[in-house]
Amino acid sequence: MKAKFSRVWMAAGVCAALGIVTVPAMAAKSAAAPSAAKADAKGDSKASAEKPLPSDAIASVNGVAIPKVSVDAMVKASGQPDSPQLRELFKGQLIANELLKQAAQKQHYDTRPEVQAAVEAAKTMIVTRAFMTEHLKAAPVSDADVKAKYDAVVATLGENEYHASVIAVRDAVTAQTVLDQLKKGSDFAALARQYSQGPNAAQGGQLNWVSFKTPITAGNTQNWPQPIAEALVKLPKGGVSSEPLQIGDQLWILRVDDKRATQIPKFEESAPLLRKQLEQVAMEKATAQMIGDLVKSARIQQ
């Protein structure tokens, strides 16, 4: 039973990735089932007059062939072992998708303005992506680049790292209400879920582990607001900020959930993620360069 559910969810993911409408498994199975009853109802003479399927098709829906390569693509995208059962599942999805498409076209849904706009938007995205894939030349990321990034990150870490939670509210009255309830022993995470409009409120306001070089200086706070970083390194484990901290248009109440000596991951463990980040930066730079070059040769009126 577990394997059956796994195939259904996997099929849904493949359909989404390939832009195919996902239909319930029972409907797909029904669509792929042999139409013997239908043939009997219409008479053997009409059924026998139907043209045989083309050699490169696995089914036909009202004369429209479903090519075998479509099933092949779905099997490949699924990452699952090829099997007759898997192919039957995907064939049913394709048949059901074709039935739905034909029904929609029969009622002229394809002529609706919102549908045409969506089609044009999808076409633009696909054409743009194909162009960028072929012409975008991002600078390669070397092993030395990855090691330099690792060393730079390690250099920003302090002696200790902190695990904090935060409750962020928009007015002083609510902030004082939260502080008063904390003094009475109320649970910080429950108050965060109730009052916070800040990060990870649904998870009790918990933030990621972070480490800072001390003393705290501007620009060296791991992209955290400087007042938060300064308060964090001063509070003891379990400590809560006695006053709300002004962060933009919010008031933050901070708690240090845990504190420990900074744990620096090994280079080998960090390298894949760092490489991916550097490749993303290189791609963004190459994209900006490409657009800049196109702007130079374009006439743009605003």
Give the CATH number for residue 187. Answer: 3.10.50.40
- 33 vs 54: CA distance, rounded Å: 19
Quick: pLDDT tens for 221-277: 999 999 999 999 999 999 999 999 999 999 999 999 999 999 999 999 999 999 999
Three-state DSSP state, 218: coil
Alpha-carbon torsion (232, 233, 237, 240), positive or negative: negative
Which residues neighbour 146 within 8 Å (Cβ) at sequence distance 6 or greater? 271, 274, 275, 278
Residue 63 resides in a domain: yes
Number of domains in the chain: 2
Q: Taking the model in full, what pTM does it have?
A: 0.59
Residue 9 resides in a domain: no
Mark whether 195 and 122 lie in a shared domain. Answer: no
Mark whether 105 and 175 lie in a shared domain. Answer: no
What is the separation of C-alpha 5 from the centre of its chain, rounded to a whole number of angstroms? 22
Range of the domain at 179: 158-261
Quick: pLDDT tens for 59-90: 999 999 999 999 999 999 988 999 999 999 99
Residues 178/226, Cβ–Cβ less than 8 Å? no
Which residues neighbour 170 within 8 Å (Cβ) at sequence distance 6 or greater? 197, 249, 250, 251
Q: ∠ CA 69-73-75 to the nearest 5 degrees?
A: 115
Please state, for a pLDDT cut of 70, what percent of the chain lies above it.
83
